[in-house]
Chain A
Amino acid sequence: MNSQVEDLRRENARLQRAVGELSMLNDLARDLGASLDPDKIMNKIVRQAIKAVDASQGVVTLVNEAEHSSLKTLIRTSSASGERRSFHLDESVLGWMLINRRPLLLNSPRADDRFKGVRWDESVQTLLAAPLMVKSRLIGVLAVYNKRQGATFTDDDQRLLSIIAAQSAQIVENTRLYEEEQTLSRMREELELANEIQTGLQLKDYPDLPGYDIHGISEPARSVGGDYIDFFPIPGNRYMLCVGDVSGKGLPASLLMANVQATLRSQAVWSASAAECLSRANAQLCDSVRRGNFVTLFYGVLDHASHSIEFANAGHNRPIIVKADATTFELELGGLVLGVKKDFPYSQDSVALDSGDALCVYSDGIPEAMNLQRQQFGEERLLRVIVEHRGASAEDLSRAILHSVHDFVGQAQQHDDITLLVVKRVA
């Protein structure tokens, strides 16, 4: 009779415990489903785990599967430790979990042969850990420490913690994916902004200049790059023309480019010569450009009354002039890139344009365009296309060059922006 009562009592206690567990798991599921905030979710999991197994502290450690070394895997821990210092899951324990992928119960961690070398925090008495698995991948570890009242963790505790871990894993993974998605979308926004800035700066219309045919093309690479093209009227019935390349990519490059355009347009108005303009722009940029950034730039001033171009070059590829009789030459005068050395003395040269001459100013994205065999398009190919299409309009010549580069590159991914400005004297 007594033993029957005892059995009933035990059964009753087991059922009560089961009901408690179920209601706890139900709470957990409900709470976790309600939030996508990773910190809140981790905290909730840790708090529930602590409560469920009557532990003093808990921590969730996420591992990054891309990096297999356990040293680098700790990306976030969340602990609910009240006043006490929170623990970090020991690397040896994390390593053991990475290999074994099953719950770990350590009621006397210091006596355990598997963790002999570990220097346990002195307040760690007992430890229970369960893997967070998603589709047989370990994404993290849920660990609790120090069963209350100096007790030890039981098999029931282990079972319960495993259930909590199993329930939480997919949700933790979801928040991580959500976070990644957020980061990606921020990056997309930044790129769009950079694109907008760049598009706003790009030349849309070319002036209808009597006797001249002018066309520019700028084709950004995969991400927003830093090529720059401008054609702008300045006093004295002249036009400044520029092709530049700003170091770096993305938003910083776009902002630097905006800075360069503003600087040049303002200096062009105030400068008596091309060299003076570059010197002034360089001094100004040296003050405002972040260390390690620089700008290559070809700067020319077209005087369409005298049919001459005065130019200075800050480290940019040498432009090519093709004449009607198919001879070509480069504008050789060079100079230091902008934004590096304040007192660099720029010099200038000038070139006369005869009827039929075309000036091609391009960015290094053209000669350096690479095909799948890792060969470069090169300057010789460029020259051949320019010569072949010298009779075409500025727009057709630009397109011919672009097509030729595309044909050459084939399926290879474009590494750099392609920018080209053609100024052709037609009469």
Chain B
Amino acid sequence: MPFTVNEEYNAVVFEIKGRFLGSVDGPKFKESLSAAIEGGKTQVVVDLSKADFMDSSGIGILIGGLTSVRRSNGDMRLAGMTKRIRNLFLITKLLGSVFEDYESVKAAVASFKTNPASGASLES
């Protein structure tokens, strides 16, 4: 499996490893995320430190996920992006305007304390 789910403090951490392809890994990711949201866990951190490739539909899965958690008044924050994936998010301008990123999972988890999810919708 290209990702694993852990819970740290009060956040759910999705750790993505290796190649993250929307068409292959998307359905499972969506399923796990929906389960987390249904369980009231809407503070989500995606750990990308071990991800080395992501295609456009992989990014799409994360955008879809972000929309879902925001609808439930939560947020999805990215952590530990490698240079390559960071570049992808910079070129698409998804970083800053849509996603927030943090150096580490720890920092991303802690951010929910200092900067709680506003529940701002992407769709407004």
Residues of A within 8 A of B (CB): 226, 245-249, 286, 291-294, 296, 314-318, 334-337, 340-344, 415-416
Contact = CB atoms under 8 A, between A and B. Distances in A.
Contact of A337 (B64, B65, B67, B94): B94
A336 B97 contact: yes
A248 B123 contact: no
B44 to A, nearest CB: 15
A286 B64 CA distance: 12
23 contacts: A226-B56, A248-B56, A291-B63, A291-B67, A292-B60, A292-B61, A292-B64, A294-B60, A294-B63, A296-B56, A318-B91, A334-B93, A336-B94, A336-B97, A336-B98, A337-B94, A340-B94, A340-B98, A340-B122, A342-B122, A342-B123, A415-B55, A416-B55
Interface string B37-78: 000000000000000000111011101110110000000000
Contacts, number: 70
Contact of B91 (A249, A334, A343, A415): A334
B109 to A, nearest CB: 24
B59 A294 contact: yes
A342 B68 CA distance: 16
Contacts of B63: 291-292, 294, 340
B118 interface: no
A335 B56 contact: no
B23 interface: yes
Interface in B70-103: 91-94, 97-98
B114 interface: no
Q: State the main secondary structure of chain B at its contact with A.
A: helix
B124 interface: yes
Given A248-B22, A336-B97, A344-B97, A296 B92 contact: yes
Q: State the main secondary structure of chain A at its contact with B.
A: loop
Given A249-B57, A292-B65, A296-B92, 9 more contacts: A247-B22, A247-B57, A248-B56, A292-B67, A296-B91, A336-B97, A337-B93, A340-B122, A341-B98
A318 B98 CA distance: 20
Given A315-B93, A318-B91, A245 B124 contact: no
Contacts of A291: 63-64, 67-68
A347 B19 CA distance: 33
B84 to A, nearest CB: 9
Nearest to A223: B23
B23 A249 contact: yes
A245 B56 contact: yes
A413 to B, nearest CB: 14
A336 B64 contact: no
A344 B98 CA distance: 10
A341 B64 contact: no
3 closest A-B pairs by CB: A292-B64, A315-B92, A247-B56
Q: Which of B59, B68, B93, B98: most chain A Cβ within 10 A? A: B93
Nearest to A339: B63
Interface string B13-28: 0000000001100000
A247 B94 contact: no
Nearest to B65: A292
A361 B77 CA distance: 32
Q: Which of B56, B60, B61, B64: most chain A Cβ within 10 A? A: B56
Contacts of B55: 415-416
Nearest to B62: A292
Contacts of B59: 247, 294
A164 to B, nearest CB: 39
Contacts of B91: 296, 315-318, 334
A423 B94 CA distance: 28
A229 B57 CA distance: 19
Contacts of A248: 22-23, 56-57, 60
A336 B60 contact: no
Nearest to A245: B56
A415 B19 CA distance: 13
A392 B93 CA distance: 34
A247 B23 CA distance: 10
B26 to A, nearest CB: 8
Given A342-B124, A344-B97, A337 B92 contact: yes
Contacts of A296: 56, 91-92
Nearest to B96: A336
A167 to B, nearest CB: 39
B100 to A, nearest CB: 14
B98 A247 contact: no
Contacts of B22: 247-248, 292
A112 B92 CA distance: 64
Contact of B93 (A247, A336, A343): A336
A335 B93 contact: yes
Nearest to A344: B97
A336 B92 contact: yes
Contacts of B60: 247-248, 292-294
Q: Which of A226, A314, A315, A334: most chain B Cβ within 10 A? A: A315
